[in-house]
Structures are given as C-alpha cells and as structure tokens.
Amino acid sequence: MNFFEHQANARRQTGRLLVYFLAAVLLTALAVNIGFYGLGLFMRGFNHGSWLWHDWSAQAYTGTLLIIMGGSLIEYLHLRDGGRALAEMMGARCIDFSTTAADERQFINVVAEMSIASGVPAPALYVMDGESGINAFVAGLDINQSVMVVTRGALDAFDRDELQAVVGHEFSHILNGDMRLNVRLLALLAGILAIGQIGGFLVRVSFSPDRSSRSERKNAVPYLIAVGMLLWLVGALGLFFGRLIKAAISRQREFLADASSVQFTRNPDALAGALLKIKNAATHSWLINIRAESMSHMCFGETLHFSALFATHPSLEERVRVLGRQYLIRDRIQQRALQQQGETAGQVAQANGVATPESAPVPDLPPIPYFAAAPSMTTVTMTPFAVPAAALVARMGTVNPQELASAQALHRRLPAGVHSALQTSAGAQALLYALVARQSVAPVAVMQAFLQEKEAGLVSQINALCRVLEGLDLSFALPLTELALPRLQLLGAQEQREFLLHLQALAQLDRHLSTFEFALLMLLRKQLQLRVRAHPVKLAQALPALAVIVTTLLRTDGMDGERLQITYRRLMRTVTTAPPDMPAAEFTRLSQFALGLQRLSGLSPQDKKQVLELAATTVLADAEVRLEEYELLRVVAALLDCPMPMLEV
C-alpha cells in the first residue's frame, strides 16, 4: 500500500468511524430510554407505552442526543488548535530548541533527520516530565501543525537507535493520515463518555449538603440519585462502546506503523529493543494522566492495562514476534539470567547476615547483543537524480535507509552557526532572511537599508549567517527552510504575518522572484496556515489549472517553440483525451502557478497521485532534474499535502 492508498484508506476509516459512532449513539440512547421506562415502573408504579416508546421517551432520546453532541462539540472546541492544544491538555512541556539537556537535544536531532528525509515538516516537540511510563504519540489536525510528545520515561530509557525507531513509528502515523482520524475519534468518544460524567455529577449533587430546605432535599434526592445512577450505568455502556470502537480502528494501524518504522530505518533490532524495554519496565507504557483512557488509541503503547478485547494495540509480545522470534528468545534468556543473579545475590547476602532490600539495584550483566552495529556514516553529496516518474511518486510518504543516511549526513554537515540559529525563532527568521539575501541580485546596500528598517535587531545575525552560508551548496536551501519553519510557529500570529510580508518584500527587491524564493514563500504560507481552504474538485474540472502547472514546469526546463507544444500535448494526453490549449506565456508566471496549485489541492488522493506523476514526468522530460525544477516539484507535492522525500542520494 502506497501513500495515496493510505490516504484513501484513512478516509474510509473516517467513514467507518462515523458508522460505529452513530451505532453507539443509537444504542446508548436506547439504553437511556429503557432505563427511564424501568424508573417509571419502579418509582411511579405505572408507565404508558412500551420500552421502545413511552411517556418519557421524547425526553430520554432528545436529552441523550443533546448530551452526546454537546460533549463532542466541547471536546472538538478544546482540540480545534490541533496537536498543541492536546499536548497542553496532557500537561506536556514544549521542548526549547536551545535546550542543553542531552536527551532532549538527541530527540530534536532525530526528529529533524527524519523530517528532512521524509519531507514531512518537523512537528513541535513536547515531553511529559511527570510520566515514568515509556510512551509517545503524535497529534494534529494537519500535517503542518503536528506535535510529537514523549514521556520522560521514554527519553530516559531509549538509546539513539531505539528513539529513532519510535520516531519512525510516529512519523508513519503522520504519513498514513492517522493523526486527524485519532483527534476526530477523541472528540466523538468524548460525547459518549459525557453521559456517565453527567450521571456521576448528579449523584455527587444528591449528597451535597447545600440544599435550600430539608423537605426539598427529601423529595428531590431519590430522583436525582436514581437518574444519576442510571446515567452512570449507561456511561459504563458508553465506555464499553468507546473501547470497542478504538480497538477496531487502532490495532492494525499499529502493525502498519511498526512495519513502516523498520522500512524507514532498516533496523528491526532497535524497534524490538524499544518494545522489550517497555515490556520489562516496571511502569510499562502506562500513564498516570487523567486522560490516559481517552488517549489509549493515539500512543505508541497501551496507556492503561486493558483486556485483549478492548486493547487498542496488539500485545508487546505479538509486535515483537512479528519482527522476529529471536528477540523474544534472547529476552527470556536475559531476564532469566537477571533473576538468577538476583537470587544468588540474595542468598550470599543472607549467608553473610546482610539484609538485601528489594529495591537494591541488580549489577549489570554483559549485554546480550540485541542491536546490530550501526552502519558507518559516510558524507553524502546532495545531487539530483533521475528516476521514472511513477517510481518517484511511489516513494512519496515513505523513507528508505539511504534517504535517512543522507539526511543524517546533511544535518551533521551544517555549520555551527546554522545549528545555533535553529535554536530560536529569531535565529530561524535570520536564517531565512540570509537564504533569500544570498540568492538576491539586489545591491547589498539596498538590502542592508531594507533590513535595517524592517529587522534592525537581526541585521548582525543575518550578515553573519550570510557569510556562513557562502560555503554551502544551494541544494541545502530547501532542507534548511524545512528545519527553520517549525521554529516560526513559536511566534504569535501577527508576528508570523509581519515576517512573511518582510521576507516577501526582501525577495522582491531585485524585481525578480527565483524558484527558491517562490518555493520558500509558498512553504511558509502553508506552514503558517495562510492559504484559503481548498474546495473539493474533480480532476476533469481542474484541467485548466493542471495545464498551467505542466506548462510552467516545461518553461522552467527551458523548452519553447514547437518542441514545447508537442511535449505539452503528449503529457496532457496521459490524463485526458481532450487537453485544453496550452496557456500563453503570461499565464504561466509563478503567481498563476500558485493559483493553479490552490485549485488542485482539493483533489482526491488518487487524483493527486495522477497530478504528481504528471508533474514528475514533466520535470523528467529532458532526463534530468535541475535544482529549479526540484524546488517547484517540491512545492507541488507540499501544497497537495504529499510529503516528498529527499531527491538526493
């Protein structure tokens, strides 16, 4: 299954989720109705009608639907800011990019490398300091606004390879479209669980001493207790439904994410080691957070101890067994050896008359080699490569070990000044200004005057970064941009807009917008959510926009005249038997290119696949990929929400 099939499958999963949710709502409403029928018989001695429809049915059905809809709406409003809102609700702390903590710096570097390799914008990073359980999750409503959260237990327990395997697992959830589904599931199930919460509230109010009169209390309390207990019991039924829905939606996705992690890293030893550390830890992957129950379907491991029926994840042993039975055998041998050594130490201590506390640490044994030696890292020169368009598009939404190695090498080759700039939002702004200034042909004095007026506080840092960037190849520009963009999300909305306007003005000082400057501005607008929301559209309706994209890419390739006309018709006939006339030169400017992409972003995943294959075929029409073409192709993929991995080996 490729990226586009995963996206289509995520849409189908959303449809399944809605069907499950509606079924759960109807059954919950029916249970409340039957409960009120029973209350009527018990407390009033009579009730007109049947268990399906009686005197209180209108109130029971309407009230249940209103509570469920209200609970889901309230949760959705809490989560409308996406992953950041959820991370803060979980009590997680945003990791400062300038942190000096070794484990947090390692986490930042591993995520940055995976981001460069996959083409996925780096998520904001959080840590749950109060959680000793070993766990992690990603959340977000959009691939550009995602967060990755790890527990303190995970940072303490994992070595670099294991952390990379877990990060690969979580990136798979981003690439496969699981994040939005998870957040929707969280909001929908909150409505079902609200029934039980209302019931618990009514029971607590019933026993509250704050009543206006003793007679009022005497008359009202039995009814409140009865209704509260009824809703509480129905809430337990809602919890049952919720767990079943989460289990039905989540289990197979965890196997898929494990497989993707191994595909990304080619290091099953690391993922097996991470899973076995969770298995053998005293706290496993369990969370103490009050929202652990509702978050169970989103995390790397189970957040609470569930029975097999309600488990949102396959068992750890089953996940490890899929990777290789040898890992379980080695783990049993090591655990038996540790147990025997502990017993021997206790016997020796007892013979010597020394008490051995249960909490005393067991001495380390010579480690059993779970993990293969990491391959030696070689410096990889980033050079565009030519592959068949279908193969290039098939690689979208995935990572191979060569791409990950290239990303690691690129990240390690970055000068210290660049690493330092990426530790703050101000430094990230200065870096993007420097990238634009480096490619501008405007007079230096004009640029300096502009920067002094707009960004006086950053001028010295921008100048220093310009000198640092002189030694880097231009192919570093887009990866550096993608590393800088997440730092800008720390700015306020108004600051983000002002920065975008100033950067665009700097790019236009020379009255020419290069393909890199265009790519940078488009990616920045997308990252900061400044695009107009796309409307669904069919490919047949979007052919004029597609014609602009194809023609612009061909002109960027240097084609003109009759060859341009022939190539255009040949390419467009791969998607339609009646291609529109080729747009005139004035309609293939970058501004029109941007409008065309906006139109195409409303396509279905399979139609997007056709567009990307056509764009890649267009770029490869002359059997090579130039840097300008690669930058435009990367923009096409990014604005269609299709992450493109590095095109370098």
């609970």: which residue's tokens? 71
- The sign of the dihedral angle between the CA atoms of 32, 37, 41, 45 is positive
Give the SS3 label for residue 400.
Answer: coil
Tell me the C-alpha distance between 238 and 232, whole Å. Answer: 10
Instruction: Write out the two tokens for 475.
Output: 């192919």
Instruction: Write out the two tokens for 166.
Output: 């877990």
**What is the phi/psi pair of residue 372, to 5°?**
-70, 150
Tell me the DSSP string of 522-568. Answer: HHHHHHTT-SPPPPP--GGGGHHHHHHHHHHHHHHTT--HHHHHHHH
Rg of the chain (C-alpha set): 29
Query: How many CA within 13 A on the CB side of residue 353?
Result: 0
Tell me the C-alpha distance between 624 and 269, whole Å. Answer: 38
The residue from 131, 162, 170, 482 that is catalytic is 170
Ramachandran sector of residue 493 (left: φ over 0; alpha: ψ -120 to 50; beta: rest): alpha
Tell me the C-alpha distance between 446 and 506, whole Å. Answer: 10
Give the SS3 label for residue 219.
Answer: helix
DSSP lists the bridge partners of residue 151 as 128
Tell me the C-alpha distance between 95 and 549, whole Å. Answer: 39
């669980």: which residue's tokens? 193
Burial class (CB in 10 A: 0-12, 13-18, 19+), 427: buried
- Return the ∠ at Cα 6 (arms to 596 and 521), rounded to 5°: 35
Give the orientation angle of helix 316-323 with respect to helix 214-265, to 10 degrees: 10
Tell me the C-alpha distance between 118 and 580, whole Å. Answer: 34
Tell me the C-alpha distance between 48 and 37, whole Å. Answer: 9
Tell me the C-alpha distance between 17 and 184, whole Å. Answer: 9
**Helix, strand, coil abundance in the chain, percent, nearest 5:** 65, 5, 30
Instruction: Write out the two tokens for 448.
Output: 């300096």
Contact 273, 266 (CB under 8 A): no
Chain centroid to CA 100 = 25
Tell me the C-alpha distance between 403 and 643, whole Å. Answer: 13
104 included as an active-site residue: no
Instruction: Write out the two tokens for 100.
Output: 């000096």
Residues marked active site are found at 170
